[in-house]
Amino acid sequence: MTASTPRVQGHNPRTGEPVGTGVPETAPEDLQRLLTEAAEAFPVLRASSPSSRAELLRLLADRLEGAADDLVPLAAAESGLPLPRLTGELARTANQLRLFADVVLEGQYLEAILEDADGTAIPPRPVLRRWLEPLGPVLVYAASNFPFAFSVLGGDTASALAAGAPVLVKAHGSHPALSAAVSELAERAVADSGLPSGVFGIVFGDQQGVTALRDRRIKASGFTGSTAGGRFLFDVAANRPDPIPFFGELGSINPTVVTPAAVSVRGAEVVDGFVGSFTLGAGQFCTKPGLLFLPAGHGLEDRLVAAVEGVAAAPMLNRRIAVQLQAGLDDLAAHPAVELLAAGGLGPQEGSWGSARLFRTSAAAVAADPIALTEEHFGPAAIVVEYTEVDDLLEAIAAIDGSLTATLQAAPDDTFPLAQVLARLSERAGRVIYNGWPTGVAVAWAMNHGGPWPSTTNVGHTSVGATAIRRWLRPVSYQSLPDELLPPALQAANPWGIPRREPPPPR
């Protein structure tokens, strides 16, 4: 590094002031070293026992919690997010690391299948032993909006390490100082675990991230961020001479449908829940409900306006997000089928503040121009979409791109076809919510945080929850191997004690 090395500099969104002096971009020779170390660490991590990987994950969780007093204020300074939210997010991130320790120890994720020979089958079947093995070094792009849970030690990193894949994190430019602090902690934990340093690494700088994605030593990638950024990187991964899996979570509009009965029975509650959900954390959640389908004549305008006007301005994660939000909302406001229904409080001139905005359009307009009307606006903005008939509603839903979530707000009702609407919503989303709100993603065995394009680049997998580990794995079958040459998980004695699909005992 020389004095002229560019630095990644974070800013406090509340004031616009720089936080510290930034972190130097990774030098080209350092990037090459990190890639080599990751490749060299792979055989070691791949061969490591479940218990050693679980120990590493739990150590990372403990160290993260132990450093909370230093890390949370740093995260607050660089992200503008409130301290209580960040305290909870750090706890969630530690629990996520521990969940993957449980996943590794349980071993169901290995999908082990043991099958014996059958010479009478057509074609004949040899002795087969199948399980899942890690892909190799994984490149994780950190997100800005969860500086702990979707960043350096977030779900992509936790699930990849659990799978036995070394991780190279591309730090997000919005919180470089926090990223450096968390990565130092992670590097120490890896060293204290007796694992090679290449198990975990971090790179700073956008071009460095792209260079790493093109490198043959990287075998898969995870990303959480914007549709434009994710599409660019997806294309880089797909256009390699040897394309690699790219698991990107991009933009999501997250439609919510309110039935007439729900309006009648608890319309005010729906309004308050909706406004709370779409403005939570300044609307900077990928699960923010961006479209609220209300039956025409709902009579909730006054309540909607009052609720939105009561929302104070909140800091946006960085200036780029604030500027893009404003540009997107200007375009939306200029659409002939759209009107501005309400606006929240304005923030200070300095820093990057976002103000709540609620728009109104019709289901017919959405069906006619879905590209303009169902694009994600990352921030505290949403659109009320009024429908007249169920067919009208179904047509609009069919026109919307894929989302991470879709929500139904309903109530006992004689006439509304709940099952039909749920079926259509579930075709467009990875999680379907009934009488709840999509913000808030539980770290759980049964969670799915994924969905059809553009909500993710890979509809078959989740980025949150126990099954997120499947992204970093590939099946391998061993045919006719002597027992002692099989991986322990597949040996007759089952030394790891994992669940396996085994042949019936001989009769």
Please classify residue 44 by burial: count the beta carbons closer than 10 Å to its beta carbon, then call 0-12 exposed, 13-18 middle and 19+ buried. Answer: middle
Tell whether residue 434 is a contact of its own copies (CB under 8 A). yes
Tell whether residue 128 is a contact of its own copies (CB under 8 A). yes
133 catalytic? Reply is no
Cα(207)–Cα(496) distance, integer angstroms:
42
Tell whether residue 414 is a contact of its own copies (CB under 8 A). no
Smallest distance from its own copies to CB 477, Å: 4
Residue 498 structure tokens: 């994992």
Nearest of 165, 171, 173, 174 to residue 184 by alpha carbon: 171
According to CB under 8 A, which residues from 382 to 401 bind its own copies?
401
| Other beta carbons within 10 Å of 243 | 10
- DSSP annotation of 401: P
At 430 the three-state DSSP class reads strand
The dihedral over CA atoms of 352, 286, 134, 46, expressed in degrees to the nearest 10, equals 50
Tell whether residue 40 is a contact of its own copies (CB under 8 A). no
Decide if 22 contacts 176 (C-beta within 8 A): yes
Choose between 208 and 457: whose C-beta lies nearer to its own copies.
457
427 catalytic? Reply is no
Annotate each residue in 462-481 with x if it binds its own copies (CB under 8 A) or - if it does not, as one string: x--x-x--xx-xxxxxxxxx
**Residue from 427, 492, 495, 497 that binds its own copies (CB under 8 A)?**
427
**Residue from 21, 29, 120, 123 that binds its own copies (CB under 8 A)?**
123
- DSSP annotation of 138: E
Q: How far is CA 148 from CA 96, 151, 333, 383, 481, in A?
A: 11, 5, 34, 30, 43
Decide if 213 contacts 221 (C-beta within 8 A): yes
Segment contacting its own copies (CB under 8 A): 69-77, 117-125, 139-147, 332-340?
Answer: 117-125
Annotate each residue in 239-278 with x if it binds its own copies (CB under 8 A) or - if it does not, as one string: x--xxxx---------------------------------
Smallest distance from its own copies to CB 289, Å: 13
Choose between 10 and 251: whose C-beta lies nearer to its own copies.
251
* β-bridge partners, 132: 475
Catalytic residue among 55, 78, 89, 249: 249
Annotate each residue in 191-230 with x if it binds its own copies (CB under 8 A) or - if it does not, as one string: ----------------------------x-----------
Smallest distance from its own copies to CB 365, Å: 21
* Binding residues for its own copies, total number by CB under 8 A: 83
> With the C-alpha atoms ordered 457, 462, 464, 467, is the resulting torsion angle positive or negative?
negative
Q: Is the peptide bond before 454 cis (omega within 30 degrees of 0)?
A: yes
Tell whether residue 504 is a contact of its own copies (CB under 8 A). no
Choose between 12 and 79: whose C-beta lies nearer to its own copies.
79
Catalytic positions are: 249, 286
